[in-house]
Amino acid sequence: MTTVTRFAPSPTGRLHVGNIRTALHNWMLARKTGGKFILRIDDTDAERSREEYVDAIRADLAWLGMLPDDEARQSERLAKYEEAFASLQSAGRVYPCYETQQELELKRKIRLGRGLPPIYDRGALELSEEDRAAKEAQGIVPHWRFMLDHDEQIAWNDGVRGPQKFDAAQLSDPVVRRADGSWLYMLPSAVDDLDMGITHVLRGEDHVSNTAVQIQMFTALIAARDETQQIPSFAHEALLVGAEGKLSKRLGSLGCDAFRERGIEPEAIIALLARLGTSLPIEPIAEIEALLETFELSTFGRAPAKLDDAELDRINTALVHQMEFSQVADRLPQGMDEAGWHAIRPNLAHVNEAGQWWALVTGPVDQPEFTQDDRAYLAEAASTLVWSDDPWRSLTGALKDTTGRKGKPLFLPLRQALTGMDHGPDMAELLPLIGEEEAHARLTKAATS
């Protein structure tokens, strides 16, 4: 059986790091077996959905390298939901309810006070046809609930959590349609999963009780269609938390736009999120094939997945140090060639810092004030500088012999004069990029200023 997964965001905002992780794991689950990954835009909430967010979702997935094999939009499938709703209505599995939010809240409090589960009491089922007609004559428009089979024990073997069991009698009949006719999440999602042949639903553990309800929905829809279709397999991964507990609002809202602004590479995000919450080590792995080889739901743990911003920076830095010139050439300062990239790469945490280091080559540089001894030393360096295949080692070797300096007194004044810094790229690689004329000018200036 071909694996078919889906990522179903609502276009009411930008993707955040939790959404990205869910999308990634569904994409990997499909790619692992040569299956199909579907992007489903859940845009039934016409009031809050925005087309710019649809475009942003597509762009973010493309930037991360997670191109879907197909795309669907719920707003284009409304007739399918009407058809499914009618079939469930004919089967007696949906029913109209007339309570206000205040009345429902009062009922919930009464049940809690009596030590009962705070679920809907099915009061609407006690209304007669005349009662319903009277309410509608008063202008009260019903919302609709799906009727669970309270005699059933709902069970499934979860891909992450193992065997799961729910007593349907302890669950509330979910509202599937609002009084204004608009749809809530549950029913359209189940209809889409069946119609699109979704084989695996992988999502956060906050959806576990939703899954229990939807399993009955799937069964009822299949029965109403008189089909023998299989319902999807389910897996619920642990939610993200911060390094010290609850995920902060800042971390939780991080999305691709924020990552790009910080100079985080998409490969770093993938490397971190692919294994976050699993028993596998988080490593700076740029090749998606290597991550796919080890991707298994059996490695996912039940403990909360700790998102550490510092770990993302660590992974990003390591991946930048692995990147070849061809991968970054179009993002580097004008004039920087492969030798320049190779020289400054070990000093970068983000590719967008390249310009700061390239300025050491293009100049001008701000030199520190030197002692009289160092100025004399730099004057000798200026007169000693002879260009060769390895000018740095030729210069420092000659100065070591003539001045007796070694270690820091030998190297540091030269670095400071040539770059204006106490640290930085390997001078053996940097000096040839600066060039003979400019190097001589910088040494002379340092010696005389």
Point out the annotated binding site for ATP.
249
Q: How much is the CA Rg of the chain, to the nearest whole Å?
A: 32
How far is residue 213's CA from residue 426's CA, in Å, rounded to a whole number?
A: 62
DSSP 3-state of 158? strand
Contact 95, 124 (CB under 8 A): yes
Contact 395, 381 (CB under 8 A): yes
DSSP 3-state of 16? coil
Question: Which residues, in sequence order, are bridge partners of residue 201?
Answer: 234
Q: Enumerate helices (H) and strands (E) in the chain, giving the number of each.
A: 20, 12
How far is residue 357's CA from residue 336's CA, in Å, rounded to a whole number?
A: 11
Question: Which residues, in sequence order, are bridge partners of residue 154?
Answer: 166
Amino acid (one-letter) located at 84: A
113: enclosing H helix or E strand: helix 101-113
- Reference 290, options 62, 66, 32, 61; nearest CA is 32
| Number of Cβ atoms within 10 Å of the Cβ of 170 | 13
How far is residue 238's CA from residue 306's CA, in Å, rounded to a whole number?
A: 10
How far is residue 136's CA from residue 98's CA, in Å, rounded to a whole number?
A: 9
DSSP 3-state of 53? helix
How far is residue 342's CA from residue 298's CA, in Å, rounded to a whole number?
A: 40
How far is residue 382's CA from residue 25's CA, in Å, rounded to a whole number?
A: 59
Strand extents, DSSP E, 160-232: 162-167, 175-177, 200-204
| Number of Cβ atoms within 10 Å of the Cβ of 209 | 15
How far is residue 427's CA from residue 84's CA, in Å, rounded to a whole number?
A: 71
DSSP 3-state of 162? strand
